[in-house]
Amino acid sequence: MQYSIVEYPAVETTALADEFIEGYEGVRTKSLFLVNRKKNRSYLVIMDGAKELDLDSLAEQFGESRLSFGSPERLQPALGLEPGIVSPFEMLDPDPREVKLCFDEVILTERS
- For 88-98, the pLDDT digits (tens) are 666 666 565 67
Greater pLDDT, 82 or 8: 8
- As a whole number, mean pLDDT of residues 75-104 equals 69
Specify the pTM: 0.74
pLDDT at residue 24, rounded to an integer: 78
**Residue 89 CA: distances (Å) to CA of 36, 65, 66, 83, 92:** 22, 28, 26, 15, 6
pLDDT at residue 30, rounded to an integer: 84
Give 22-70 pLDDT, tens digit per residue.
Answer: 887 777 788 888 999 999 998 989 898 888 999 999 999 999 999 999 8
C-beta separation of 25 from 112 below 8 A: yes
DSSP 52-96: PP-HHHHHHHTT-S-EEEPPHHHHHHHHS--TT---GGGGGSSS-
C-beta separation of 45 from 102 below 8 A: yes
Separation between Cα atoms, residue 74 and residue 54, nearest integer Å: 22
**Domains, the chain, ranges and CATH?**
28-109 (3.90.960.10)
Separation between Cα atoms, residue 21 and residue 92, nearest integer Å: 24
